[in-house]
A and B are shown apart, each in its own frame.
Chain A
Amino acid sequence: MQIQLGIATVLSPILSFVLIAAVGLRRPTVAKIISLTAATVSLVCASMLLLGVNDPAFKIQATWSWLMDDPSKFTIGLLLDPLSLVMLFVVSIISWLVQWYSLSYMEEDARQGKFFAFISLFCFAMMGFTIAPNLLQSFMCWELVGLGSYLLIGFWNHLPSAATAARKAFIVTRLGDVGFFIALLLAWTGLGTLDFGAMAGDAMSATWKAAIGGSDYGVWISIALFLAVAGKSAQFPLYAWLPDAMEGPTPVSALIHAATMVAAGVYLLARMSFVLVLGSEAAIMAWHGLAVIAMITALMSGAVAIVQSDIKRVFAYSTISQLGYMIVGIGTGAVAAGMMHLFTHAFFKALLFLTAGAFIHAAHSNSITDIARAGGAKLKLPMMALFVGSMALMGFFPFAGFYSKDAILEHLFVEGDWILFGMALLGVFITAYYTSRVIYLMLKVPAEPHQGHGDEHGHGHGLHLGSWMKLPLGFLAFASLVAGNVWLWKAHNWFVIPEAEHGNAALITALVSTAIAAAGAFYSARVFYWRTSADPMASMTGFATLLREKWYLDDAYWAIVHNFYLPITAFLQKVETIIVKGALDGIGTVSMTFARGFARAQTGEVQHYLGMSFVVVAAVVLILMSR
């Protein structure tokens, strides 16, 4: 029964894709009905599956041979366990809400059919990734998810910026995917299997620790996978594609670049976290190293969010930062805490993006100040949603982010990992600072209704909220409030959560982090709302430039491509034309020269031929006589 439900969940979106491609590309209504129906089927099935789980040890697996006639090799199938079902639920509910919301958001677009087809394709890939029972299916769906992202970032591909952003996203994440592929190679040759269950078997421990290339399999496979995670989940140094991905339609940003695809790397780490149990000391160190990189990423990107004026980019950098938190949790061994943050973040960040989309749809601008000038603060539901989402993101009690972020902080505290703990608290301050800044700017900048872009579109009297947007915003706001509690209520059915043997740790971290978040929000209010403090960026001009230039990471990419990669290709092109082609042409020229020389001997005059014959005969006679 579960197997059938799982198959229905995953296959209905691809069926939707095929159907829309067949009949819905020029019929928007048909496309919408097909897409929403499929999303509903997925959501219902995924919910039923998750509700049926009452035991962390729950596991059902079914596989079919895919590549060859051998059921033990290179299979595809489903692995239904609490981890995959939680993720499947998140993906299906967010995608349902986003598609519902898109009914309004995309209503003026002539290519809606294509939009819903691409969304369906993405959902299929994402769900296929989620339920993958082995690294092969993970990798395939991981790549297809990237395709969905490419198609949707570049959905408005007549805009050069969108097409460029799509290409950048694909290539940068592909760089990480090379790591994934190498992990496949290593796992197949070293462990002899790609199946998660088989790889996690206790008997594999020695194999994971088998030496290769100066270290062991556990270390190298982990490092190769980290590269993939850094690409997809936008971690240093591969995160710079994500802010540009905001060129896509905002519902896409909410679904792919906030809630699901970018969390795929986190999910992959959770899936592979048995390495922390089976692997060597060195492998565990490698995972800890990843946590450190993620923490640094969280701080770097959080800082950049402070200086962004585009509302989507603020949230994009925030997403990078929050993904860092999740990876910190999993990298240090708190898998359930990391997944909890993934769970709550999916709701509140999707909420924030859809809210941003509501503003952008109404005000026809991405700039926070433009939205405020157009009267964005008068849109009641989006403002409420912005407030709830921001409270959750900043981590205030009783909103969802409070619980999940604290779970990670508490883990670091209990482990005595003071450096990461300190950095995480700094991150809390930064998060509160940039998040509250958005609200203050929205409230503080005066509305100038007559200058809003609304006039051009014929509804000059204030802004307008799409009618299909209300339900998703309302629901996600509710979820951002309660998701943390739902998790605490249900999670013991899903994960083995360590009992609270650490006394007051929970209370201490909760108080400290709340105080720090409050300080961040308060300081931000002094700067942006009351305007009683000077903007700290005004005095730290060097640092501010660094942030505005996004740590020069884009420039570094540019330099690598233009000063390194392209010159190499240009050099090889020269090698090709001068040496490889030149050698062939040279042989041709030389033989033609010889041929002309011989051709000159063909004079047609008998005297010459006779003379030549005489010379040859004489030479032969001489040679014979000399022997």
Chain B
Amino acid sequence: MTIPILSLIILCPAIGVVLLFFVPEGKEKIVRGIALAVSIIAAFLSVWMYLAYDRAAAGFQFIEQYAWMPGLNSTYHVAVDGVGMTLVLLNAIVMLTGVITSFSIDFRVKEYFILFLLLVTGVFGSFICMDFLLFFIFFEIAVLPMYLLIGIWGSTNREYAALKLTIMLLAGSGLVFVGLIMTYFASDVRTFDFITLRDSGGFSPSFQNIVYPLMFLGFGTLAAVFPFHNWSPDGHVAAPTAVSMLHAGVLMKLGAYGVLRYGIELFPQGAVHWGPVAATMAAGGVVYGALVAAQQTDLKYMIGYSSVSHMGLVMFGLAAGTPLAINGAVYQMFSHGIMTALFFSAVGFFYEQTHSRNINEYGGLARKVPWVATCFIIAGLAGVGLPGLAGFPAEFMIFMGGFERFPVLTLIAVPSLVFGAFYMLRVLQKVFFGPEAGFTPKVHDIGIFSGSARVLLAGLIILFGIAPRLLSDLIAPYAMELLK
């Protein structure tokens, strides 16, 4: 008997949610313990699945399929291919490090972890579900807890940010839902099963041209595609640390994943038709995000706009659609995920102690907290695309692959290498170097347990920078297959 590993992975956070309901109020240690335990198990299962994954094969693996809503031809159908595998791994990593980072939450702890795990369940489900309807349900489960997490545990301007984020994301889901209904009725097969739809949907080119923009904009909003990105930096800033990690680390990836899976894969001709428009928006976001980031004085806003730029790269790779660019885009989803998780984790560490994120109120932190500073600097250098760190293989593949299809747009986007260095090094210099200033003397060094999350993320950034084949080998067969 094969082990239903994908179902087990979704069940980890889901069981966590259920268990937490039964923990009495006030038993915070038990709450944290359960959250940590389920995330460690999920991480373990994900790594196990990663090791068991057959790299040479292009199609889906670890397939499970059970009847769910036979009347609608909707089934519980879970499976992963190279993309799904990569993103499940990412989600497990961000979940684990996010839970560790969340140990410092001390207000309504139980509710916090319930929502946190619910969100993670939704993300896991979205990445592995091969049924459009069920996917949509998981997608909504992933999006909605954000409102409460930001609204209750957030900081700066949280009600505004939570509302804006939720409205934007629901507007995006609205477009997706319309697309979903249209897809169901336009297909020859009347099913929600993704693989059947993809292989024998028989969508006419004109239909594809109509429905692809719905998918691109609907999911793209979640991926903060320019100019529909403004909710994202506000959301980052207002969210508590670990929620920012999830938000930038995996939730935005969910948007890019949606575009890839339910846009490009289902409607390839539509994607080609709208490619130039999508690529222009994406390249615009790459440059725009990097330029606007230079004006930020709040560390989280800086990271928020750098995310707009980096997610622009993902969308650019997807829009270019060559195997290399797709490979790079998926790689970038992963790299950016661990990179921003580390960023927010480190910023959260400073903020908890000083209640300031203002770049100008720090100085000389590197000598005060060498470990966290080193981790932040590694994330920063990865963001700049330094070789040897995880950002470089992704950017390299995206630009190499993108140049074949959109040479001019690529040349417009490439200078973001300098723009990125400009704002990132300015921040590193101001916050970490120079004499100790402002709030810096208040900051104390990190504990081993809490520090382990940051060190793990930094280590992964280096690992996936040195040995990109750990991921690209998984993604490459998928990207080749996609082009056929």
Q: Which residue of B has the minimal Cβ distance to A154?
A: B433
A:155-191 near B, CB below 8 Å? 157-160, 163-164, 166-167, 170-171, 174-175, 177-178, 181-182, 184-185, 188-189
A178 and B417 contact, CB distance less than 8 A: yes
Expressed in whole angstroms, the minimum distance between the Cβ of B176 and any Cβ of chain A is 19
A174 and B418 contact, CB distance less than 8 A: yes
Contacts of B418 in A (CB 8 A): 171, 174-175, 178
In the complex, what distance in Å separates the CA atom of A143 from the CA atom of B391? 13
Does A607 belong to the interface (CB within 8 Å)? no
A65, A164, A167, A185: which contacts B410 (Cβ < 8 A)?
A185
Known pairs A68-B469, A174-B417, A178-B417; A163 contacts B434 (CB<8 A): yes
A178 and B400 contact, CB distance less than 8 A: no
Interface string of B408-426 (1 = CB under 8 A from A): 0011001101100110011
Q: Which segment, of A276-284, A481-489, A567-575, faces chain B?
A: A567-575
B292 and A143 contact, CB distance less than 8 A: no
Does A197 belong to the interface (CB within 8 Å)? no
- Interface magnitude class on chain B: 35 or more
Expressed in whole angstroms, the minimum distance between the Cβ of A525 and any Cβ of chain B is 44
Contacts of B32 in A (CB 8 A): none
Does B438 belong to the interface (CB within 8 Å)? no
In the complex, what distance in Å separates the CA atom of A174 from the CA atom of B429? 17
Contacts of B387 in A (CB 8 A): 139-141, 143-144
A66, A69, A160, A177: which contacts B417 (Cβ < 8 A)?
A177
Q: Which segment, of A318-326, A423-431, A576-584, A608-616, faces chain B?
A: A576-584
Does B174 belong to the interface (CB within 8 Å)? no
A569 and B295 contact, CB distance less than 8 A: yes
In the complex, what distance in Å separates the CA atom of A425 from the CA atom of B388? 44
Known pairs A68-B473, A570-B295; A163 contacts B397 (CB<8 A): no
B381 and A67 contact, CB distance less than 8 A: no
Q: Which residue of A has the minimal Cβ distance to B400?
A: A188
Does A566 belong to the interface (CB within 8 Å)? yes
B414 and A67 contact, CB distance less than 8 A: no
A178 and B415 contact, CB distance less than 8 A: yes
Expressed in whole angstroms, the minimum distance between the Cβ of B374 and any Cβ of chain A is 10
Known pairs A170-B425, A184-B400, A588-B164; A573 contacts B295 (CB<8 A): yes
B426 and A584 contact, CB distance less than 8 A: no
B386 and A67 contact, CB distance less than 8 A: no
In the complex, what distance in Å separates the CA atom of A572 from the CA atom of B285? 12
In the complex, what distance in Å separates the CA atom of A171 from the CA atom of B366? 21
Interface string of A93-126 (1 = CB under 8 A from B): 0000000000000000000000000000000000
B415 and A167 contact, CB distance less than 8 A: no
Does A147 belong to the interface (CB within 8 Å)? yes
A:482-515 near B, CB below 8 Å? none
A144, A170, A182, A570: which contacts B414 (Cβ < 8 A)?
A182
B230 and A580 contact, CB distance less than 8 A: yes
Known pairs A158-B435, A175-B418; A69 contacts B294 (CB<8 A): no
Contacts of B432 in A (CB 8 A): 157
B:377-397 near A, CB below 8 Å? 381, 386-388, 392-393, 396-397
A167 and B429 contact, CB distance less than 8 A: yes
B468 and A66 contact, CB distance less than 8 A: yes
A163 and B415 contact, CB distance less than 8 A: no
Expressed in whole angstroms, the minimum distance between the Cβ of A88 and any Cβ of chain B is 20
A67, A164, A568, A580: which contacts B468 (Cβ < 8 A)?
A67
Does B442 belong to the interface (CB within 8 Å)? no
A143 and B469 contact, CB distance less than 8 A: no
Known pairs A68-B469, A140-B392, A569-B295; A185 contacts B429 (CB<8 A): no
B:342-367 near A, CB below 8 Å? 364, 366-367
A158 and B421 contact, CB distance less than 8 A: no
Q: Which residue of A has the minimal Cβ distance to B434?
A: A160
Q: Which residue of B has the minimal Cβ distance to A566?
A: B294
B:221-264 near A, CB below 8 Å? 227, 229-231
Contacts of B30 in A (CB 8 A): none
A167 and B426 contact, CB distance less than 8 A: yes
Contacts of B164 in A (CB 8 A): 584, 588
Contacts of B294 in A (CB 8 A): 565-566, 569
A181 and B399 contact, CB distance less than 8 A: yes
Does B476 belong to the interface (CB within 8 Å)? yes
Contacts of B55 in A (CB 8 A): 69
A185 and B425 contact, CB distance less than 8 A: no
B295 and A68 contact, CB distance less than 8 A: no
Among B227, B387, B403, chain A packs the most CB atoms within 10 A around the CB of B387
In the complex, what distance in Å separates the CA atom of A580 from the CA atom of B224? 12
Count of chain A residues with a beta carbon within 8 Å of a chain B beta carbon: 45
Expressed in whole angstroms, the minimum distance between the Cβ of A253 and any Cβ of chain B is 19
In the complex, what distance in Å separates the CA atom of A310 from the CA atom of B422? 29
A:525-559 near B, CB below 8 Å? none
Expressed in whole angstroms, the minimum distance between the Cβ of A522 and any Cβ of chain B is 46
Does B291 belong to the interface (CB within 8 Å)? yes
B425 and A167 contact, CB distance less than 8 A: yes
Expressed in whole angstroms, the minimum distance between the Cβ of A263 and any Cβ of chain B is 20
Contacts of B410 in A (CB 8 A): 185
Expressed in whole angstroms, the minimum distance between the Cβ of A109 and any Cβ of chain B is 14
Q: Which residue of B has the minimal Cβ distance to A137?
A: B387
Contacts of B168 in A (CB 8 A): 584
Among A144, A565, A576, chain B packs the most CB atoms within 10 A around the CB of A576
Contacts of B426 in A (CB 8 A): 167
Expressed in whole angstroms, the minimum distance between the Cβ of B174 and any Cβ of chain A is 14
B364 and A67 contact, CB distance less than 8 A: no
B400 and A185 contact, CB distance less than 8 A: yes
A136, A144, A566: which contacts B388 (Cβ < 8 A)?
A144
Does B25 belong to the interface (CB within 8 Å)? no
Contacts of A171 in B (CB 8 A): 418, 421-422, 425
Expressed in whole angstroms, the minimum distance between the Cβ of A415 and any Cβ of chain B is 35
In the complex, what distance in Å separates the CA atom of A177 from the CA atom of B387? 12
Among B227, B364, B366, chain A packs the most CB atoms within 10 A around the CB of B227
Known pairs A167-B426, A174-B421; A568 contacts B434 (CB<8 A): no
Does B288 belong to the interface (CB within 8 Å)? yes
Among A65, A68, A170, chain B packs the most CB atoms within 10 A around the CB of A68
In the complex, what distance in Å separates the CA atom of A185 from the CA atom of B434? 38
A66 and B366 contact, CB distance less than 8 A: no
In the complex, what distance in Å separates the CA atom of A566 from the CA atom of B393? 29
In the complex, what distance in Å separates the CA atom of A65 from the CA atom of B399? 19
Contacts of A144 in B (CB 8 A): 386-388
In the complex, what distance in Å separates the CA atom of A581 from the CA atom of B227? 10
Contacts of B75 in A (CB 8 A): none
B421 and A157 contact, CB distance less than 8 A: no
Q: Which residue of A has the minimal Cβ distance to B476?
A: A68
B433 and A185 contact, CB distance less than 8 A: no
Known pairs A69-B469, A147-B386, A177-B417; A158 contacts B364 (CB<8 A): yes
A147, A154, A182, A572: which contacts B291 (Cβ < 8 A)?
A572
A:236-281 near B, CB below 8 Å? none
Q: Which residue of A has the minimal Cβ distance to B420?
A: A174
Contacts of B295 in A (CB 8 A): 569-570, 572-573
Does B186 belong to the interface (CB within 8 Å)? no
Interface string of A33-65 (1 = CB under 8 A from B): 000000000000000000000000000000001
Contacts of A158 in B (CB 8 A): 364, 367, 433-435
Expressed in whole angstroms, the minimum distance between the Cβ of B380 and any Cβ of chain A is 12
Does B167 belong to the interface (CB within 8 Å)? yes
B227, B414, B473: which contacts A181 (Cβ < 8 A)?
B414
Expressed in whole angstroms, the minimum distance between the Cβ of B329 and any Cβ of chain A is 15
Does B404 belong to the interface (CB within 8 Å)? yes
A182, A184, A185, A581: which contacts B230 (Cβ < 8 A)?
A581
Give 23 CB contacts A-B under 8 Å: A67-B397, A67-B472, A69-B473, A147-B381, A157-B433, A163-B433, A171-B418, A171-B421, A178-B415, A181-B417, A182-B411, A185-B410, A188-B400, A568-B291, A569-B291, A572-B292, A572-B295, A573-B295, A580-B229, A584-B230, A584-B231, A588-B163, A588-B164
Closest 7 CB pairs of A and B: A140-B387, A157-B433, A573-B295, A163-B433, A569-B294, A185-B403, A167-B425
